[in-house]
């Protein structure tokens, strides 16, 4: 472009310019002056008013710890926490974590033990993206988490890094909206206390789940704020009762008339008091119960559980807080069976396609529903009904005795083998773990042989994502006040869980965990599932499971030792029992994390062999 053209364009701009007051540069209509960059007046000092109100509001909700992954726009939170402590004002502890995956899973572990909401803060869009698959777990597992992140500065005075352009998204909440119940971006001049209370009101209202709150950098650094602390209780947290009375009466009559009534549940154990209510209901009225290991909803050896028939043999089925009570492809209730679905979300509204049939769907919380149902059964039962219930209960006890003997035989035989198997691992853990110890379980193979008898001592994630257990165990250990915590996971799940960051957190917060890694050198999805799909396939003939095998196999014990934990590599039931006993002592007495790398055969019977590992347990000296 010619110099004359440039000058003409400049003159045209100057002639059309409008004077702007309050700028650092000068823009006028006088010819010959070059316009200066447009800059807003100063935003003033970088304040902490909003950050302080955020922390005080969290404290008012009983949130004692803010799991924290740092970011440049989040520094007002750090400053505010120090100022509040200096004034003696209530504030959660800032709990730094070296990876967001660990932070969100630890928050879930803390919440499931404490029964209170938990909070996590992460940097802009990048930090929450590092939550990864644990967003799925938080939603599907029903954890009331407040997920907080910043948003990059958009005011020129605050945009001091290229990152503030790179991290902008049109709708940051949209990234996570499918995995949260609610999301909101806080604006300037809003009543921040009310916004936070609304977030927690939604998170705590059944079905509970995560919510997402975004604070732009300029808002978090404001030196003024409207309003004060507001709690979710002031807004009102929704609750469910025991269900519509007429529906409960009709269901009770169905159960009394049934020959093989069956109750199926996943989440009764979220309410520890409901566990005893379920046990009493089953015992008094001869009702079988099938439960998952999401929580301890019935003791593992309870006759209602051990003696329960398959759903295909039931004539009345009561589903309580369970979205997938059976797998239709494998069979379901008989066509003439009566099916009642009860829960805080009896239509499974969060699942796009849910094809399970039911004759009755009832909104109710598990504990109140079980109490109301038991009261109605007591009121309505005739002498003949009582006799029928007694016969059902006796049949369940007889079947349970046979099943219990068979499982004990399996435990005994598995412990006597010269090498470890999933059954052997389970039997050894069952022998060492105390009834009051907490078990965080990410292994499906342990269901029959690792027994639990007390409410609040068994936890699975409630979703499909691997990697949750190692960090949920950290939060569980903290919230339990020092109760020994066992974590069972596979080698794939262990690698997904960011073990270095999880072990760092265990040491940082004096929350040691005894972790057992069931190490078969690969993913089941890429090995045995290949054979299931193609039983006569080329992969099976060649023994080639590339994509499902870990080669080389990581040395989890020595890696743990490098992180300050006590590491063992075991190959036999005897070695595992010794490591479990020594490991439990290390966790309880020395407050030291423990990782046991338990080498199991793969689906072809081959044992993984980490390079350089001795054949006996290794311990850091």
pLDDT tens sequence across 411-430: 999 999 999 999 999 999 99
The contacts of residue 571 (CB under 8 Å, 6+ apart) are 419, 420, 599, 607, 615
Q: Is the dihedral of CA 484, 489, 493, 494 positive or negative?
A: positive
pLDDT tens sequence across 466-489: 899 999 999 999 999 989 999 999
Phi, psi of 350 (to 5 degrees): -80, -10
pLDDT tens sequence across 8-42: 433 433 333 333 333 333 334 445 555 554 444 45
Q: Give the mean model confidence (pLDDT) for residues 358-362.
A: 95
pLDDT tens sequence across 110-152: 999 999 999 999 999 989 999 999 999 999 999 999 999 998 8
CA distance 193 to 177: 22
Half-sphere exposure of 364 (CA within 13 A, CB side): 25
The contacts of residue 338 (CB under 8 Å, 6+ apart) are 254, 315, 316, 317, 359, 360
- Per-residue confidence (pLDDT) for residue 402, from 0 to 100: 97
- Per-residue confidence (pLDDT) for residue 552, from 0 to 100: 82
- Size of the chain in residues: 621
Half-sphere exposure of 267 (CA within 13 A, CB side): 24
HEC sequence for 135-160: HHHHHHHCCCEEEEEEECCCCCCCCC
Burial code (b: 16+ CB inside 10 Å, e: under 16) for 16-37 equals eeeeeeeeeeebeeeeeeeeee
pLDDT tens sequence across 323-359: 999 999 999 999 999 999 999 999 999 889 899 999 9
Beta pairing class for 65-68 and 93-96: parallel
The contacts of residue 568 (CB under 8 Å, 6+ apart) are 557, 575, 579, 582, 583, 594, 595, 596, 597, 617, 618, 619
Query: pTM value?
Result: 0.87
Q: Is the pLDDT of residue 227 over 70?
A: yes
CA-to-CA dists, residue 290 to 283, 326, 436, angstroms: 14, 10, 23
CA distance 26 to 37: 9
CA distance 444 to 381: 39
- Per-residue confidence (pLDDT) for residue 544, from 0 to 100: 76
* DSSP code for 244: -
Burial code (b: 16+ CB inside 10 Å, e: under 16) for 321-336 equals bbbebbeeeeebbeee
């Amino acid at each position: 472009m010619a110099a004359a053209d440039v000058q003409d364009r400049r003159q045209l701009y100057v002639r059309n310019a409008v004077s702007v007051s309050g700028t650092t540069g000068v823009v006028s209509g006088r010819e010959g002056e070059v316009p200066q960059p447009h800059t807003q007046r100063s935003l003033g000092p970088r304040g902490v008013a909003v950050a302080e109100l955020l922390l005080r509001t969290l404290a008012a909700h009983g949130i004692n710890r803010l799991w924290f992954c740092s970011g440049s726009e989040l520094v007002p939170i750090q400053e505010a926490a120090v100022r509040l402590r200096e004034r003696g004002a209530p504030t959660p502890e800032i709990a730094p974590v070296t990876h967001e995956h660990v932070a969100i899973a630890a928050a879930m572990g803390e919440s499931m033990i404490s029964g209170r909401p938990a909070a996590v803060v992460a940097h802009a869009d990048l930090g929450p993206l590092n939550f990864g698959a644990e967003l799925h777990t938080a939603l599907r597992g029903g954890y009331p988490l407040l997920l907080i992140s910043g948003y990059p500065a958009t005011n020129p005075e605050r945009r001091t890094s290229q990152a503030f352009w790179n991290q902008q998204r049109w709708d940051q909440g949209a990234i996570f909206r499918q995995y949260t119940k609610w999301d909101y971006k806080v604006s300037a001049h809003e009543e921040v206390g009310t916004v936070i209370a609304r977030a927690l009101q939604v998170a705590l209202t059944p079905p509970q789940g995560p919510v997402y709150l975004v604070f732009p950098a300029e808002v978090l650094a404001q030196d003024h704020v409207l309003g004060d602390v507001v709690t979710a209780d002031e807004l009102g947290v929704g609750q469910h009762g025991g269900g519509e009375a007429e529906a409960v009466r009709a269901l009770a009559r169905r159960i009394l008339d049934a020959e093989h009534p069956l109750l199926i549940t996943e989440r009764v154990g979220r309410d520890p008091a409901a566990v005893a209510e379920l046990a009493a209901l089953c015992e008094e009225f001869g009702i079988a119960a099938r439960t998952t290991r999401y929580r301890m909803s019935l003791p593992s050896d309870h006759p209602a559980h051990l003696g329960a028939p398959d759903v295909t043999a039931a004539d009345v089925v009561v589903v309580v807080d369970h979205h997938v009570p059976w797998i239709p492809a494998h069979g379901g209730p008989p066509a003439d069976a009566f099916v009642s679905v009860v829960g805080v979300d009896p239509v499974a509204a969060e699942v796009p396609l849910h094809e399970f049939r039911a004759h009755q769907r009832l909104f109710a919380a598990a504990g109140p529903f079980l109490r109301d149902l038991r009261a109605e059964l007591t009121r309505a039962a005739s002498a003949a009904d009582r006799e029928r219930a007694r016969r059902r209960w006796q049949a369940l006890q007889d079947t349970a005795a046979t099943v219990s003997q068979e499982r004990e035989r399996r435990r005994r035989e598995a412990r006597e083998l010269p090498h470890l198997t999933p059954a052997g691992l389970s039997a050894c853990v069952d022998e060492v773990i105390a009834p009051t110890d907490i078990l965080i379980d990410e292994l499906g193979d342990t269901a029959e042989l690792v027994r639990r008898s007390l409410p609040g001592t068994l936890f699975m994630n409630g979703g499909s994502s691997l990697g949750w257990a190692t960090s949920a165990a950290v939060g569980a250990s903290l919230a339990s006040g020092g109760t020994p915590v066992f974590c069972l996971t596979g080698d794939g799940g262990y690698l997904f869980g960011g073990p270095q960051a999880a072990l760092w957190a265990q040491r940082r917060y004096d929350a040691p965990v005894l972790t057992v890694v069931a190490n078969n050198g690969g993913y089941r999805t890429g090995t045995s599932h290949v054979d299931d799909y193609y039983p006569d396939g080329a992969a099976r003939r060649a023994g080639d499971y590339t994509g499902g095998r870990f080669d080389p196999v990581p040395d989890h014990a020595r890696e743990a030792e490098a992180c300050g934990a006590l590491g063992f590599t075991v190959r036999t039931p005897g070695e595992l029992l010794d490591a479990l006993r020594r490991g439990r002592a290390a966790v309880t007495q020395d407050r030291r994390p423990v990782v046991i790398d338990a080498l199991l055969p793969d689906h072809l019977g081959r044992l993984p062999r980490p390079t350089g590992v001795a054949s006996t347990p290794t311990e850091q000296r």
